Structures are given as structure tokens and as C-alpha cells.
């Protein structure tokens, strides 16, 4: 990672009618990475992404995207970035082929016809190319949107909650595609609030109320939070889960099948609790390394939608 970063922004700030929506936000996305951008609804993810790709002008801060200044070189950024909006925003009254063709023309893609045909075949939609985009199911719309924002072979993909409201199978397929692209060297910044997506990422940043709370490699995040986790097995986990939840020393309890992951940031309290429970002998408590799953749950827990103003 000695290359220049794909995205590097410092102190990005944006207010809408007096309300600060993104607050001194920093982010550095290394080239070739899959970078997960987490945060509850309304925390400012979309606004931040729009500022990075030149769709919104920041009130404060500066930065570069693919080496271009986000304040002055929006045109070059637009030419080299693929941006997939949160809402499906292709033309529902155009056919699949017409949509791809139109976007390709906007980017003045060379060998356009061949490129569009190839995209259709990659999509597996070549025989339905004449179908109106509005008649596609959610998962297919998502894939079409991805194909559209990839049509000019951008070096950087900005995906804003690309799989919101899509079934798990379609989501997995979608991520297979993302990883394929990443392997080809495309940098991907993806906002999400699904855990199964978060754990696919090499890097994570977490934002709440417009402020970045934490960022780093996926591996380091649990340590950075200072999360300690016990793996608990044994009978009657449901009852145990309920009692543990009520315990102030426990930050969170997550159930994974026949296993409970009991985590908290207060190491001493957690240790005492484990010892005390071990002594009863009914359950087996094993200290494990906290992983991204726990970190994700920890971060998302208690993070209500951020729409009605931030904390004081």
C-alpha cells in the first residue's frame, strides 16, 4: 500500500439548512481495497459519498479522489468513477439495453456496441435486453445498476447501499461480482448496514451523526474498540442469554446457533463474570479473539436512526 490512495479526504463538512450532516470527516481508501462504510440510516454516508464524487460541494474540508481534487476537478472524477446510487436510478421506461447504451454514450465509451453487448452477456440478460428496466426484480435492477456504473471500466466504484432490500442469494451473487472486480484492481467503497457485507471488506469506517467514530483494517477494528469476547456453549442458552443481557458488565450477547458470543469492553468485569459462571459448571466459557461480527454488532447496537438531530 505504498501507492497513492484512491480516496483521501480530510475534514469534509456539509450542512443542510443549518444542520451539520457530515462533520469533519476524514477517510483514506487505499488503491485496490474493498472499503466498507458503515453507519445507521441518516448518519451521512450518502452525503459523504456524493461529496467524494463531485455531486455535492463540501462546505469545508478538501481531498482527492483518484488523485483529482474533489473541489475543482469534479469533471475528471466523474469520468473515472462508477457511482451506484442508493435508489435505483436508471430509466424505468427504457429497456435494459437502452439504459446501458445511454450510460455508455454519456461516458463516450469506445466500441460502445460491443461493450454494451458484453455487459449484457456478463449480466446474463442478453436475451432479455429488450425488456423495460422498470419490470425487473430488485436483485436484477441492482445488477443492472452495477453493470451500468461499470460500463466505462472505472478505477473506483462507489456503491451506496447496493444490496438494500435484495434477497440473500442475490446479495451473495452481487458480492461475488464485487470481489471479482476487486481482484482486477478496482477499488470499491461500499456503504452498508448488513453484517454479512461488512465482513467481506478489507477496511471499515464507521460513521454516526456525521462523525467518523472509528476506521481501520477489518482485522484491527475489534481491537480498536477494545472488545473482549467469550464463547459460551452448553444447555438452555436462551435463558442464559436473557440473564446475561441484564448484566451491566456485558456489552452485548449474540447468538450464533448453539453458541453465545458474550462481549464487552470492560475486561475485568467480563473476566469475573466468566469465572463465576464457569464455577457453576453448566456452561463452558472460552475466551476468544473478538472478531468483526462482534464489532459490527457492537457498533450497530444502540445506534438508532440518526435522522432527528445528533447527540449534544
Partner 1 sequence: MRWRFSWSRFLAVLSKEFVQMRRDRITFVMMIGVPIMQLLIFGYAINSDPRHLPTLVEMADEGPVTRAILMGMQSSTYFDFEGVVTSPAQGERALRDGTANFVVVIPQGFETDIVRGLSPEILIAADASDPTAVGGAAGAMSGIVDTAMAQTLTGALGFTAARPPPFGVVVHRQYNPEGNSSINIVPGLLGVILSMTMIMITAVAIVRESEKGTMETLIATPVRPMEVMLGKIAPYILVGYVQTLVFLVAARVLFGVPFIGSPVAFFVGFNLFIVVNLALGFLISTVARSQMQAMQISFFTLLPTILLSGFMFPFAAMPGWAQAIGNAIPATHFLRLVRKVMLKGADLSDIAVDLLGIAVIMLVIVTIALKRYRQTLD
Ligand X SMILES: Nc1ncnc2c1ncn2[C@@H]1O[C@H](COP(=O)(O)OP(=O)(O)O)[C@@H](O)[C@H]1O
Q: Measured between alpha carbons, how far apart are the two ends of the chain, in Å?
A: 38
Question: Which residues make Cβ contacts (< 8 Å) with residue 256, sequence separation at least 6?
Answer: 293
Say which entry of ligand X, Mg ion, partner 1, none residue 39 contacts (CB below 5 to 8 A, set by partner kind): ligand X
Q: What is the C-alpha separation between 264 and 169, in angstroms, rounded? A: 32
Question: Which residues make Cβ contacts (< 8 Å) with residue 81, sequence separation at least 6?
Answer: 53, 65, 66, 154, 155, 156, 157, 158
187-192/34-38 β-pairing: parallel
Q: What is the C-alpha separation between 309 and 56, in angstroms, rounded? A: 21
Say which entry of ligand X, partner 1, Mg ion, none residue 106 contacts (CB below 5 to 8 A, set by partner kind): partner 1
Say which entry of Mg ion, partner 1, ligand X, none residue 108 contacts (CB below 5 to 8 A, set by partner kind): partner 1
Please say which residue, 56 or 178, places its beta carbon nearer to partner 1.
Answer: 56
**Options 74-82, 192-200, 252-260, 302-310: segment touching partner 1 (CB under 8 A):** 74-82
8 in contact with Mg ion (CB under 5 A): no
**Cβ–Cβ under 8 Å, residues 11 and 60:** yes
Please say which residue, 44 or 264, places its beta carbon nearer to Mg ion.
Answer: 44
Please say which residue, 46 or 64, places its beta carbon nearer to ligand X.
Answer: 46
- Least CB distance to ligand X at residue 64 (A): 21
Say which entry of Mg ion, partner 1, ligand X, none residue 42 contacts (CB below 5 to 8 A, set by partner kind): ligand X
Please say which residue, 94 or 269, places its beta carbon nearer to partner 1.
Answer: 94
Instruction: Compute CA 63 distance to the chain's CA centroid, rounded to the nearest angstrom.
Output: 20
12-71 binders of partner 1 (CB under 8 A): 50, 53-57
CA distances from 301 to 41, 185, 296, 308 (A): 13, 34, 8, 18
Which residue ranges make up the site for partner 1 (CB under 8 A)?
50, 53-57, 74-76, 78-79, 81, 83, 85, 87-94, 98, 102-103, 105-108, 148
Which residue ranges make up the site for Mg ion (CB under 5 A)?
45-46, 86
Amino acid at each position: 500500500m505504498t501507492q497513492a490512495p484512491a480516496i483521501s479526504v480530510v475534514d469534509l463538512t456539509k450542512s443542510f439548512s443549518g444542520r451539520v450532516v457530515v462533520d469533519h470527516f476524514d477517510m483514506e481508501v487505499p488503491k485496490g481495497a474493498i472499503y466498507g462504510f458503515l453507519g445507521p440510516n441518516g448518519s451521512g454516508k450518502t452525503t459523504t459519498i456524493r461529496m467524494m464524487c463531485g455531486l455535492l460541494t463540501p462546505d469545508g474540508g478538501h481531498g482527492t479522489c483518484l488523485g483529482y481534487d474533489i473541489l475543482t476537478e469534479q469533471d475528471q472524477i466523474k469520468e473515472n468513477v462508477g457511482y451506484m446510487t442508493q435508489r435505483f436510478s436508471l430509466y424505468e421506461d427504457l429497456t435494459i439495453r437502452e439504459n446501458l447504451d445511454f450510460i455508455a454514450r454519456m461516458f463516450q465509451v469506445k466500441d460502445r456496441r460491443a461493450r454494451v453487448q458484453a455487459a449484457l452477456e456478463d449480466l446474463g440478460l442478453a436475451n432479455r435486453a429488450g425488456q423495460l428496466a422498470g419490470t425487473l426484480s430488485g436483485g436484477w435492477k441492482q445488477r443492472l445498476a452495477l453493470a451500468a456504473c461499470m460500463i466505462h471500466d472505472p478505477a473506483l466504484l462507489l456503491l451506496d447501499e447496493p444490496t438494500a432490500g435484495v434477497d440473500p442469494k442475490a446479495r451473495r451473487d452481487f458480492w461475488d461480482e464485487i470481489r471479482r472486480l476487486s481482484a482486477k484492481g478496482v477499488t470499491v467503497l461500499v456503504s452498508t448496514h448488513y453484517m454479512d457485507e461488512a465482513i467481506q471488506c478489507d477496511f471499515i469506517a464507521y460513521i454516526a451523526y456525521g462523525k467518523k467514530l472509528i476506521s481501520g483494517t477489518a482485522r484491527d477494528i475489534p481491537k480498536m474498540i477494545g472488545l473482549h469476547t467469550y464463547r459460551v456453549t452448553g444447555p438452555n442458552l436462551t435463558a442464559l442469554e436473557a440473564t446475561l443481557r441484564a448484566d451491566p458488565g456485558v456489552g452485548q450477547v449474540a447468538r450464533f446457533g448453539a453458541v453465545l458470543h458474550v462481549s464487552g469492553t470492560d475486561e475485568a468485569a467480563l473476566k469475573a463474570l466468566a469465572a463465576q459462571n464457569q464455577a457453576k459448571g453448566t456452561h463452558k466459557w472460552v475466551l476468544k479473539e473478538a472478531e468483526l461480527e462482534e464489532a459490527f454488532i457492537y457498533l450497530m447496537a444502540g445506534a438508532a436512526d440518526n435522522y432527528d438531530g445528533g447527540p449534544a
